[in-house]
Chain A
Amino acid sequence: MTDLLFSCLLKDSPMCPITVNGVEHQVPARLSVAAALLYLGNLAIRKHPVSSEARAPFCYMGVCFECLVIIDGQHKQRACLREVMPHMCIETAMVGVNP
């Protein structure tokens, strides 16, 4: 359902391969990880550690800490502050371990 929310203006920009929760995807290069997850249709990207409700990035500028993900094994990375790199491995916390 969420892949209907946003669409990308960039039509022929170079693509970058990334892995999200073990599945490989192609996203436009130079996107932030948070934007890339939204581009792929993931609105909610973690379960709240206290309430277990689904949560999504809120500010996309590094102040809300709602976009914490695991990037290449590093926990608690703000997805909005990191650009995608080829073969970056991103784990969101919709299931399993919470970053």
Chain B
Amino acid sequence: MSKVYDYLVIGAGPAGMAAAIEASNAGLCVLVLDQAENAGGQIYRNLGQVGIQQARVLGPDYLVGKPLLAEFMAANCDYQPMAQLWHIEAHEKGFLVVALVHGESITYVTSHLLLANGAMERPMAIPGWHKPGVMTAGAGQILLKTAALLPKQVVLAGSGPLLLLLAQQYRAAGVIITALLDTTPKSNYWYATPWLMAGLTTPKQLLKGLWLTLVQRIKTPYITGVSGIEVLGEECVTGVSYTVAGKVYDIDCNLIMLHQGLIPETQMGQLLGCTQVWSENQQCWQARVAVAGQTSVPGLQIAGDAGTIGGAYVAQFNGRLAGIVRANSGVATLSLQKRLLTLWLCLRVKQLHWARGLVDRLYRPADWLSEPSSDTIICRCEQVTAGAVTAIASRGCAGVNQLKAYTRAGMGACQGRQCGLNLAYLVAHAQQRPVSKVEPLTVRPPLSPINLGQLSRQTEL
């Protein structure tokens, strides 16, 4: 066995980049593995290469990542882009991380590991969401960031800040928004009121959010209190129908972008046996993480949106903190300056997570979304409907993992990333127990597809 890294960071988004900078500055031997071609993560995707026209459309909150990206590119750490991680396990020297790089499977050994692999969009399972012409709002934004591809006309549907931001960016680029269907339940505004206090601690963000909402409400065909969204069309999308105050409406369209907030990507932590907790506020499973990223597994840290959804700023602070804490086992050995920085970062992370509570409560998904009609496809990979899942669950199936044996739900190529959460909701409804009591899908390698040839040609680094 050759090289053992001091710190292996998975993901080159704001959290991963910040942690790698701090740890490598402190003299650790650091490797960053990222699945994209360029560093930046989803939030700063393609930031180093983006053209002037795209930059104008994407706005200042995207360009603000440039100094961090530059600092990361100059840092003295190893960086491997296009690494598709497919296995990860505990090992006597720490952890084994196995990834496909240019079609070859390479095993990396590290004493300490940081998961900063970010978030994904909460799957919004509505009838017809598997048809060509439906994609996520995040997909729309990625196409803009990486390829400068813009739709001519689009319907945006769902809830959450990203949907509003995309509407803003699309309008700036001259895209026709046929309708913005806002599914945020009216009652959420009431329930979110107590969180205003938290939101007020970040007044600039709060004002920005209010302005963004207000502008979209005035400048786009903004429809509130929407429920029962259904995608119409046989082979491809031809329209969308929705309900407002008991009345059903139809719109013609070829393209719909859905959004329902973000959830952490927890697979890697789960595979390592990291304790998972249900977050009532963010309505998803999360690893139990301390402020500097420490988890229930010794030597394993999780930072940024991979732990708790907080956004780019908190991810960056969280990453820096994780890197500093890793580089200096114990705060006692730190210089006074570093000690103050650590304290400040801790407070900022705590404060920003608290302030995020307002967004979480305001944009909590509507109840009707967790009880889709029986013909709705829940598991896209294995084509399993909500009806099939409910039928098995109401006959007393033990949980989502036993559901696999009966329905194959969660056993396809995406390995439950797109259905896991919705399966848990369905089981919870059918068996009238809280979703927090339904265990999440068990995660098993390979985390991404690998063929037998690649498996047999394993190389160790």
Hey, which bits of chain A sit against chain B, CB under 8 A?
1-2, 4-10, 13, 28, 30-32, 35-36, 38-39, 43-44, 48, 50-51, 53-66, 68, 74-76, 78, 80-83
Contacts and interface: CB of A to CB of B under 8 A. Distances in A.
A81 B83 CA distance: 10
Interface in B404-419: 412-414, 417-418
A13 B121 CA distance: 31
B377 to A, nearest CB: 9
A74 B147 CA distance: 24
B434 interface: no
A3 B250 CA distance: 24
Interface residues of B, number: 50
Contacts of A1: 236, 254
B37 A64 contact: no
Nearest to A62: B35
Nearest to A7: B150
Contacts of B42: 61
A97 to B, nearest CB: 14
B214 interface: no
A54 B413 CA distance: 17
B265 A64 contact: no
B132 interface: yes
A65 to B, nearest CB: 4
A63 B265 contact: yes
Q: Which of B103, B132, B173 has the most CB of A within 10 A?
A: B132
A55 B449 contact: no
Given A65-B381, A83-B37, A54 B236 contact: yes
Interface stretch (B22-30, B137-145, B368-376): B137-145
Contact of A65 (B146, B173, B413): B413
B139 A61 contact: yes
17 contacts: A5-B254, A7-B152, A8-B149, A10-B53, A35-B146, A36-B147, A39-B147, A50-B383, A54-B235, A56-B133, A57-B135, A60-B139, A61-B138, A65-B413, A76-B413, A76-B449, A80-B142
